[in-house]
Chain A
Amino acid sequence: MANRFHRLTLARHRRLLDSHTRYYASQAALASTPVRRLNVPIEFGSTPLLHHTAKTLSKTPGLPSSGASSRLNLFQAVNAALRTALAASDRVLCFGEDVAFGGVFRCTAGLQDEFGKLRVFNTPLTEQGIVGAAIGAAAEGRKPVVEIQFADYVFPAFDQIVNEAAKFRYREGETGANLGGLVIRMPCGGVGHGALYHTQSPEALFCHVPGFRVVMPRSPSQAKGLLLSAILESKDPVIFMEPKILYRAAVEEVPDEAYTLPLSKAEVIKTGADLTIISYGRPLYMCAAAIEAAEKDRPGLSVELVDLRTIYPWDRQTVIESVVKTGRAIVVHESMVNFGVGAEIAATVQEAGFLRLKAPVKRIAGLTTHTGLAYEKYVLPDVARIYDGILATVDY
């Protein structure tokens, strides 16, 4: 009775809502039709940052290109890396909130079925507990790969991260104890409607205290190789930040075999002569689009694009060499500009190459405010801002 009633009323709501929807949808379509050229949705199906066929795999350093590959999105690539690591070493553990059923972003889907409840499991809802337990497990020889549900929720674990994990090797000294194999994974960054607490990208906070390697992959194939490095090869603990908007949006060919990509090594994705853009994670797609537009509008202009990949300790050599070559630099990231990654890079670049610079190092980053729901697209960098920054820097 109650159920039938429920279904009935639901159907009625739908009809009523539909009549309103049609009205407002048509109004909205009539309201304005601005001519957009730059701030159009990223074309993930054709962006040069993704391997749309296996043929291009050989162009990216470190990716195996002879074997089979599969089309995976970012969460599937993370899942593939976790599966590979769990199979490769019985020291690997996966845990966190809602990890057992696959995690809210599906990164751990199927892993408990395959590797058992001793190695893949749910924890109570406590980030400090998750990270603290992971530190203890790593100190006793396991390789815990733990998930913090959103980067916005990592802060209860900050004491464990800053005062414990980051200082662990230093504090232990000659005992040799260390946390190699500990990986703290977390989805980060904007998706358009996450507002204050499902949008943040707190990498700069982790970079301020040395001890962790802080990594952010740009794509599925990068994620698999970098995550496997972090779990199986790194002798230092790793914070692995996954741009959550890419979980489903970024799809590409990912080599099936196990492979690793080096940590603390940047990659020059595109070479250029006049300007270097340094970025990481999601904004790289906007940089690529902005570069394409600027190079089209300014025949002869060529811009180099560098993916930092590991944000700290970062690949100073690759970045400095590139900027010394081009004489101009822009740093682009989503997290706030104030006291951010861009500030560190800009300072380092001007110290190393002051006399080679033809323009001030520019930062295009999140504004110095919080990401309010209605304002996110104005707070975070977009293609138009990067495009404008390119022209301003080359015209300086």
Chain B
Amino acid sequence: MRARIFSHARRGLTRPKHRSPPALRSVQHPGIRAGSSLSQRPDAQFLAFPGAVKSAFTSSLKFSVPNEYPAMETYRAVDQHGEVVDRSFTPDLSDDKVVRIYKNMLLISTMDMIMFDAQRQGRISFYMVSAGEEALTVGSASVLEKGDVVFCQYREQGVFVERGFGLDEFMNQLFANNKDPGRGRNMPVHYGSAALNIHTISSPLATQLPQAAGAAYALKMQRAIDPSIPPRVVVAYFGEGAASEGDFHAALNIAATRSCPAIYICRNNGYAISTPTLDQYRGDGIASRGIGYGIETIRVDGNDIWAVREATKKARELALQDGGKPVLIEAMTYRVSHHSTSDDSFAYRAKVEVEDWKRRDNPIARLRKWMEAKGIWSDAKEKESRESIRRDVLKAFSEAEKVQKPPIRYMFEDVYEEMTPELKEQMAELKDHLEKYPGEYELAEFEGGRDSLNP
């Protein structure tokens, strides 16, 4: 439309004065509600304002006070003792599958401990553990379809492992070696996988959320054009801190107005680095905001893997109804760990607070109790699993550490699809420089050494 207006201007054509410009005319499209069409019936109890079409009139001057509303409830299926509290709940998994999921939780927990230590020893540059959040990531991912598209924040190793990311893949990324699909460019824990439909993690917070809305819209369009494609959703994970970024609000609003099949899963773990939720927001968590955006929302106990599974399963159904719509899940949990290896959380929270939480509730212990009550788990199995997982992690660790760094040429590639003349020149200059000063650089660690910089 805009182009048409400009082309008129360029050709010096004059529009008839009484006609609105083409761009404005398009607004009068039938089916699009215009303000003037909302006439009020005589004695109506509400006025259909264009911005609030079902608001009843009241003669009582009263502000809504947030504290007068009850907090949104938190759904749980199984309590912290491993006992079922939702009588309508029946596990939808075979015993074998429950054990597999449990082992995935153990795996990330074990990998986290080892890699945290490895960072402390200087073996990798950075790490983030997800202690306390294993149920929410593994549980939600366990009910998604392989074709669903996932955007993560950075503490979702459970999602990766549940979707089939191998220990070797974790380690290759963490060591930024030649087998890392991110080509050695990203900080540790910024995983990505084309095969598993998980976009590569980016450090800035909440940027993935509006992207998820657009991606969900793309999936919806794709299916509208070709109905033989199985229905798919987009799932985006984020923390309660990230929900303060403008992008969070933009995301929910655009996902709602464009009816995007996107599931937004908030990990509300109580802390954004040092900032407690009291400094982060004053409303009823993140869930209450979903209502404001007209989005179906649920709050769940994030330490209860069954609750997370049930909620995510249902959310996926909802997201695909009525041509698609967004759903918000707020999973309540607690960040047992430090924010990252760069953080010492005891500078801002008491150690006893963390110890209390660990004693009170632990998502892994909760599922273990449930399994033990069902007679499918034992101390012996626990011990054996933990040991074999630890062996697997260390094996993958030492194998990945041996792999060379990627070719140094990768520093210039993928900025554009094809290297620009400017970049080619810089690459040639770097090669000349490295040849001139061989003693100043250690290129042996890079696959192919200096030769990878050949044109």
Contacts and interface: CB of A to CB of B under 8 A. Distances in A.
B244 A125 contact: yes
Interface string B32-64: 000000000000000000000000000000000
A272 interface: no
Given A34-B442, A367-B430, A372-B410, A128 B125 contact: no
A14 interface: yes
Contacts of A155: 204
A374 B246 contact: no
Given A17-B117, A372-B411, A34 B205 contact: no
Contacts of A37: 439-440
B437 A378 contact: no
A124 B185 contact: no
A12 B246 contact: no
Interface in A182-229: 192-198
Contact of B245 (A10, A39, A125, A195): A125
Given A2-B358, A24-B401, A34 B415 contact: no
Interface string A83-113: 0000000000000011011101000000000
Contacts of B274: 98, 100-101, 104, 122
Contacts of A128: 246
A374 B405 CA distance: 7
Interface in A332-381: 338, 367-370, 372-375, 378-379
Interface stretch (B18-26, B92-100, B254-262, B275-283): B275-283
Interface string B328-365: 00000000000000110001100000010011001001
A3 interface: yes
Contact of A21 (B121, B183, B187): B121
A298 interface: no
Given A35-B439, A375-B184, A126 B121 contact: no
Interface string B391-427: 0001001100100011010111001000010110010
Nearest to A382: B440
B203 A13 contact: no
Contacts of A4: none
Nearest to B248: A126
A104 B343 contact: yes
A31 interface: yes
A9 interface: yes
Contacts of B204: 152-153, 155, 197
A388 B437 contact: yes
Given A10-B113, A152-B203, A197-B187, A102 B347 contact: yes
B185 A38 contact: no
B398 A20 contact: yes
Q: Which of A21, A122, A374 has most B Cβ within 10 Å?
A: A374
A101 B347 CA distance: 7
B185 A195 contact: yes
Interface string A7-50: 00110111011001100100000011011111100000000000
Interface of A: 2-3, 6, 9-10, 12-14, 16-17, 20-21, 24, 31-32, 34-39, 97-98, 100-102, 104, 121-129, 152-153, 155-156, 192-198, 338, 367-370, 372-375, 378-379, 382, 384-385, 388
Closest 9 CB pairs of A and B: A372-B185, A197-B203, A375-B411, A374-B184, A193-B125, A124-B244, A122-B279, A101-B348, A195-B187
